[in-house]
């Protein structure tokens, strides 16, 4: 895993906006059949059980999702080790070295919390994200943890409670066309999903 160098703010915002407007205006959508759309729906069978010795909880809306934390620990360990190695090439570049260090510190803290946690740890308390660290972001930015939970859920590697009751299946529905697709994972009401995200966006 490598952290991309942050783009320096060398362009004027208005100039960038004018470029984007020009690019959008130059796209000829007539070459695409934008009227062609599709719906793909599958069923996710959830785990009958998880490792009760090591699990964390992700709550979102009416959903309470329990996942094994071992894969999350492995993710943090692998990311930590990879960044430590990559950071070595920036020993003479203080700014870049420090950018790596901030993310390394996040991974280190997450590992310690996961390894010393009690069952039922609120996974949203783990601060793990790519970007500059600051006090505001540290108030619960768990984007990467959320992605890991979502991936586990899509593979059925989770126990789920919906409105307080245990459920054993979820629906995964994809609405798409040439330009983009939207994925929703839900129980019985697609307007009340556990996760909703863009599958792809083409420009």
Closest by CA to 161, choosing from 73, 50, 71, is: 50
Q: For residue 2, is it within any domain? A: no
What are 134-166's pLDDT values in tens digits?
A: 556 555 567 788 999 999 999 999 999 999 999
113 vs 12, which has greater pLDDT? 113
Q: For residue 121, is it within any domain? A: yes
* 98: its two tokens: 């420090």
Q: For residue 18, is it within any domain? A: no
The Cα-based distances of 199 to 43, 141, 166 in angstroms read 17, 22, 27
pLDDT of residue 34: 52
Spell out where 69-167 has E strands: 121-122, 159-162, 165-167
Q: For residue 161, is it within any domain? A: yes
Q: For residue 4, is it within any domain? A: no
pLDDT class of 20 with cuts at 50, 70, 90 = very low
What are 66-112's pLDDT values in tens digits?
A: 999 989 999 999 999 999 999 999 999 999 998 889 889 888 988 88
Q: Does the pLDDT value for residue 22 go beyond 70?
A: no
Q: For residue 180, is it within any domain? A: yes
188 vs 131, which has greater pLDDT? 188
What are 158-170's pLDDT values in tens digits?
A: 999 999 999 999 9
The Cα-based distances of 43 to 40, 46, 84, 187, 200 in angstroms read 10, 9, 40, 10, 20
Domain span holding position 83: 33-201
Closest by CA to 107, choosing from 142, 146, 152, 65, is: 142
Number of domains in the chain: 1
Q: For residue 10, is it within any domain? A: no
């Amino acid at each position: 895993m490598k952290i991309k160098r942050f783009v320096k703010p060398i362009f004027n915002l208005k100039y960038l906006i004018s470029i984007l407007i020009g690019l959008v205006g130059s796209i000829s959508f007539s070459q695409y059949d934008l009227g062609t759309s599709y719906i793909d729906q599958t069923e996710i069978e959830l785990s009958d059980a998880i490792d009760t010795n090591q699990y964390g909880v992700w709550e979102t809306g009416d959903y309470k999702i329990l996942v094994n934390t071992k894969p999350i620990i492995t993710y943090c360990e692998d990311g930590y080790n990879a960044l430590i190695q990559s950071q070595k090439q920036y020993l003479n570049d203080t700014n870049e070295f420090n950018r790596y260090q901030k993310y390394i510190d996040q991974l280190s803290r997450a590992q310690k919390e996961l390894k010393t946690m009690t069952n039922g740890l609120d996974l949203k308390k783990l601060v793990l994200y790519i970007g500059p660290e600051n006090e505001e972001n540290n108030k619960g930015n768990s984007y990467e943890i959320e992605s890991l939970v979502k991936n586990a859920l899509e593979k059925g590697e989770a126990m789920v409670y919906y409105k307080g009751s245990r459920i054993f299946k979820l629906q995964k529905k994809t609405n798409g066309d040439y330009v983009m697709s939207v994925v929703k994972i839900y129980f019985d009401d697609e307007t009340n999903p556990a996760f909703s995200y863009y599958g792809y966006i083409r420009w």
